[in-house]
């Protein structure tokens, strides 16, 4: 502020321009920071949504196998079939069109519902563990007379790497 001769103070044009320039720089810095925060948030939201979908798929797979009849689980040609203990419902897991599919239906019938659990699946492998601790790529294995005790799921997902889920099968106690 520049004092005037008559005792009143005022702001010169140069002082006003300096203040406006400083205000513009602070505003530009704030806008740049806000823009960066919004872009990072959008990327994070997309990743979190993808992870939530993977987590949901693995949870569904695990729940289906826990409810499955371990004596009736079959694995053939990369398709895992798990009849539920109610004796009527069948769940099938397979890779089709580059996606992990879950098919639901009744025994000995075409599936009523096909659900895409995970997109962009490069490969899908299942293995079944018998009570003797031996892994099998097909099940039931005629060379093994022990029941299945666990199922191992391995997914190769484009851009995400390998996911693995090991699910113990509930052992039905004979009555």
How many Å apart are CA 71 and CA 120, to the nearest integer? 32
Buried b (16+ CB within 10 A) or exposed e, 16-53: eeeeeeeeeeeeeeeeeeeeeeeeeeeeeeeeeebeee
Per-residue pLDDT, 160: 81
Least confident of 6-15, 80-89, 146-155: 6-15
Question: For residue 172, what pLDDT band results from cuts at 50, 70 and 90?
Answer: low
Per-residue pLDDT, 1: 57
How many Å apart are CA 172 and CA 71, to the nearest integer? 8
Question: Strand, helix or coil at 118?
Answer: strand
- pLDDT above 70 (res 175): no
Buried b (16+ CB within 10 A) or exposed e, 125-150: ebbbbbeeeeebeebbbeeeeebbbb
How many Å apart are CA 129 and CA 152, to the nearest integer? 8
| Residue, of 135 and 86, whose pLDDT is higher | 135
How many Å apart are CA 18 and CA 24, to the nearest integer? 10
Please state whether the predicted TM-score (pTM) of the whole model is above 0.85.
no
pLDDT digits 0-9 by tens, 61-93: 999 999 888 888 899 999 999 998 887 788 999
Per-residue pLDDT, 164: 93
Alpha carbon 4 to chain centroid distance?
71
Which residues neighbour 107 within 8 Å (Cβ) at sequence distance 6 or greater? Answer: 83, 87, 88, 89, 90
Buried b (16+ CB within 10 A) or exposed e, 103-120: bebeeeeeeeeeeebbee
- pLDDT above 90 (res 47): no
pLDDT digits 0-9 by tens, 87-115: 778 899 999 999 999 999 876 667 778 99
CA distances from 2 to 12, 18, 45 (A): 7, 14, 53
């Amino acid at each position: 502020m520049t004092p005037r001769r008559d005792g009143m103070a005022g702001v010169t044009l140069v002082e006003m321009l300096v203040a406006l320039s400083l205000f513009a720089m602070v505003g530009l810095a704030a806008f740049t920071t806000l823009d960066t925060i919004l872009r990072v948030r959008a990327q994070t939201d997309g990743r979190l949504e993808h992870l939530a979908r993977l987590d949901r798929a693995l949870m569904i797979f695990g729940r289906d196998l826990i409810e499955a009849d371990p004596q009736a689980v079959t694995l053939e040609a990369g398709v895992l079939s798990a009849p539920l203990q109610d004796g009527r419902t069948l769940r099938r897991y397979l890779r089709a069109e580059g996606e992990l599919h879950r098919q639901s239906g009744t025994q000995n019938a075409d599936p009523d519902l096909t659900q895409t659990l995970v997109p962009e699946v490069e490969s899908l492998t299942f293995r079944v563990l018998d009570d003797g601790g031996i892994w099998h790529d097909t099940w039931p294995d005629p060379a093994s007379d022990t029941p299945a005790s666990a199922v191992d799921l391995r997914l190769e997902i484009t851009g995400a790497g390998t996911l693995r889920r090991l699910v113990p099968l509930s052992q039905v106690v004979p009555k």
